[in-house]
């Protein structure tokens, strides 16, 4: 886990917080798996993601399950989704743009509506099962610039000097049979990135150094992540007197996250090396469960109120972290035995508890619903309640320290927020037109890198609905700023952080039929 901490501490310091400890790293990962922005069918996405006080849509499976009580006939639906990502990164005075697209299935639902119970107060019950994607992790950005002050090798050299080890001790951390090292220092030493002395011939110890130390270098960093946090949900709802709708659901959650970061340095007029690179890969797999209960009440035929409460998601996580170094030499006398060395993979198992959520909202129907409706909701998200735990360490005290470190980091980094959403639908016969917005406040207690990380999601859509079939399409636009630091050094003037403007567009098509 040590190499991962060194890497992620550098990345997250670029966000402005003190992420040098284990608890800070894993509180950040738990947050990544908890930040749900918008889910559901194209209809509900077009309304800004409102789900608290609306029903009769497959989004109710995982939003407010009481909304299933509005169904009087069964339904099957699917929502293919296209995520478009564009980014512009500024780094050391240079700017670079990147674009990408990713297709996924955003939602799949099957609703079984029960029959009418006639004059009985409990009119009908509904059961549903569905899949939905809570978070899509597709992201890509590239930045580059000329660095006259430092190299990504410098933190490795600082580590070597702090350890006060000799060359032969570093060599002992490398296995020539597998071409793998126990850490970045041992890998860098085999490639002559550290110290520059032939293997086994330097036992002088610190201070270590690097070749081409006074040469400027053009640094280029490429990051890409894929995967999703998704959930299969089983829900049950009932309708009392066509006035009170109650529902409950159980969710089986899954996380699949993959990221790769490659940082390459091209040495300007280098004597020993032309360029060298560090590659970092993180693979995360996890499963968990949660529970939600909800209610919707028709106060009048024109006004209905809704509320839902969702437990945290309790999730078990398995991750693997891989690193490697590679070089392209310029000096033919350099006795390289290869041009790349990998670091032994780091595997780590832990569990997380995502935030508690509760929401409430209201829907006003216009012209008894014939014209359309207005809807709004507020959602409380308790980011301060994020927790992580592990039994991966060798003793109970270490596991307790991990749990306490994460809790302390969460309480000093994240704050509870209230997200606001509003939307409207207007009807003309079978045709629908929708618009919505969502405001998600900055969940960080302190503004990191002087960046406001609150988000404004703007959405809209159209739909067609008849007695047997419906089709909806929506688009959601989201722009936000972030920062990324490939490595850090004691003097902040010696390294750079990339300032990134992200523009994400989600296009969702939902089609379904009644039966």
Burial class (CB in 10 A: 0-12, 13-18, 19+), 362: middle
Element of type H or E holding 466: none
Phi and psi at 366, nearest 5°, equal -100, 130
Query: Any residues with CB less than 8 A from the CB of 327 and at least 6 apart, and which?
Result: 191, 192, 193, 273, 275, 276, 277, 336, 339, 340
Rounded CA-CA distance 106/300 in Å is 34
Token pair, residue 118, equals 């006639």
3-state secondary structure of 61: helix
Element of type H or E holding 504: strand 498-514
- Whether the CB-CB separation of 35 and 431 falls below 8 Å is answered with no
According to the model, what pLDDT value does residue 264 have?
Answer: 98
Using only C-alpha atoms, the chain has a radius of gyration, in whole angstroms, of 27
Burial class (CB in 10 A: 0-12, 13-18, 19+), 79: buried
183: nearest Cα among 5, 401, 393:
5
pLDDT tens series, the chain, 515 aa:
555 544 444 444 333 333 335 677 888 888 999 999 999 999 999 999 998 999 999 999 999 999 999 999 999 999 999 999 999 999 999 999 999 999 999 999 999 998 877 778 888 899 999 999 999 999 999 999 999 999 999 999 999 989 888 888 998 999 999 999 999 999 999 999 997 554 445 566 778 889 999 999 999 999 999 999 999 999 999 999 999 999 999 999 999 999 999 999 999 999 999 999 999 999 999 999 999 999 999 999 999 999 999 999 999 999 999 999 999 999 988 888 789 999 999 999 999 999 999 999 999 999 988 999 999 999 999 999 999 999 876 688 888 989 999 999 999 999 999 999 999 999 999 999 999 999 999 999 988 777 888 999 999 999 999 999 999 999 999 999 899 999 999 998 999 999 999 999 999 999 999 99
**Domain range list for the chain:** 33-79+93-144+221-313+354-381+415-514
Token pair, residue 316, equals 């078990």
Rounded CA-CA distance 60/206 in Å is 63
Phi-psi region of 29 (alpha: psi -120 to 50; beta: other; left: phi over 0): alpha
- Whether the CB-CB separation of 283 and 320 falls below 8 Å is answered with yes
Q: Scanning the structure block, which residue is given the tokens 């008849």?
A: 466
DSSP state of 156: H
Straight-line distance from the first to the last Cα atom of the chain, in angstroms, rounded to the nearest whole number? 53
Q: What share of the chain is helix, strand, coil (3-state, %, to 5)?
A: 15, 50, 30
The CATH class of 33-79+93-144+221-313+354-381+415-514 is mainly beta
DSSP state of 444: B
Element of type H or E holding 167: helix 167-171
DSSP state of 493: G
How many beta carbons lie within 10 A of that of residue 289, not counting itself? 13
Query: Any residues with CB less than 8 A from the CB of 443 and at least 6 apart, and which?
Result: 31, 35, 381, 383, 414, 415, 417, 453
Element of type H or E holding 77: strand 75-91
According to the model, what pLDDT value does residue 12 have?
Answer: 41
């Amino acid at each position: 886990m040590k190499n991962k901490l060194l890497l992620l501490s550098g990345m997250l310091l670029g966000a402005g917080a003190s992420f040098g400890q284990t608890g800070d790293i894993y509180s950040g990962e738990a947050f990544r798996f908890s930040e749900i922005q918008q889910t559901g069918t194209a209809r509900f996405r077009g309304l800004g993601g409102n789900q608290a006080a609306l029903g009769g849509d497959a989004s109710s499976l995982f939003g407010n399950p009481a909304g299933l009580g509005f169904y009087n006939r069964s339904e099957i639906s699917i929502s293919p989704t296209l995520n478009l990502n564009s980014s512009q990164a500024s780094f050391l005075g240079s700017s670079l743009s990147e674009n990408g697209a990713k297709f996924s299935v955003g939602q799949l639902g099957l609703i079984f509506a029960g029959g009418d119970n006639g004059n009985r107060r409990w009119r009908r019950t509904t059961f549903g099962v569905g899949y939905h994607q809570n978070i899509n992790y597709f992201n890509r950005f590239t930045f580059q610039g000329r660095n006259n002050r430092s190299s990504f090798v410098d933190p490795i050299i600082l580590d070597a000097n702090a350890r006060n080890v000799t060359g032969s001790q570093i060599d002992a951390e490398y296995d020539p049979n597998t071409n793998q090292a126990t850490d970045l220092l041992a890998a860098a030493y085999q490639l002559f990135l550290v110290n520059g002395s032939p293997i086994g011939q330097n036992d002088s110890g610190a201070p270590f150094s690097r070749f081409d130390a006074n040469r400027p270098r053009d640094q280029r960093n490429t990051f890409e992540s894929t995967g999703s946090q998704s959930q299969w949900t089983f829900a049950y709802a009932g309708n009392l007197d066509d006035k009170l709708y109650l529902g409950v659901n159980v969710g089986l959650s899954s996380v699949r996250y993959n990221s790769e970061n490659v940082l390459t340095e091209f040495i300007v007029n280098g004597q020993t090396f032309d360029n060298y690179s560090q590659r970092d890969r993180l693979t995360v797999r996890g499963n968990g469960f949660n529970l939600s209960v909800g209610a919707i009440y028709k106060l009048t035929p024109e006004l209905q109120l809704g509320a839902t409460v969702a437990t945290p998601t309790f999730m078990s996580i398995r991750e693997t972290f891989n690193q490697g170094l590679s070089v392209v030499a310029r000096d033919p006398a350099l006795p390289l035995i290869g041009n790349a060395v990998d670091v032994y993979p780091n595997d780590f198992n832990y569990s997380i508890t995502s935030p508690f959520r509760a929401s409430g909202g209201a829907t006003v129907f216009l012209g008894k619903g014939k014209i359309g409706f207005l809807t709004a909701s507020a959602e409380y998200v308790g980011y301060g309640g994020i927790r992580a735990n592990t039994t991966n360490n060798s003793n109970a005290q270490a596991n307790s320290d991990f749990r306490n470190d994460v809790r302390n980091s969460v309480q000093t980094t994240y704050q509870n927020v209230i997200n606001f959403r509003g939307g409207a639908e207007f009807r003309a016969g079978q045709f629908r037109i929708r618009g919505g917005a969502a405001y998600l406040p900055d969940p960080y207690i302190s503004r990191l890198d002087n960046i406001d990380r609150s988000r404004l999601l703007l959405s809209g859509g159209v739909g067609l609905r008849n007695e047997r079939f419906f089709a909806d399409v929506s688009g959601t636009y989201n722009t936000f700023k972030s920062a990324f630091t490939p490595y850090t050094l004691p003097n902040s003037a010696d390294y750079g952080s990339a300032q990134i403007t992200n523009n994400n567009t989600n296009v969702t098509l939902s089609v379904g039929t009644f039966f």
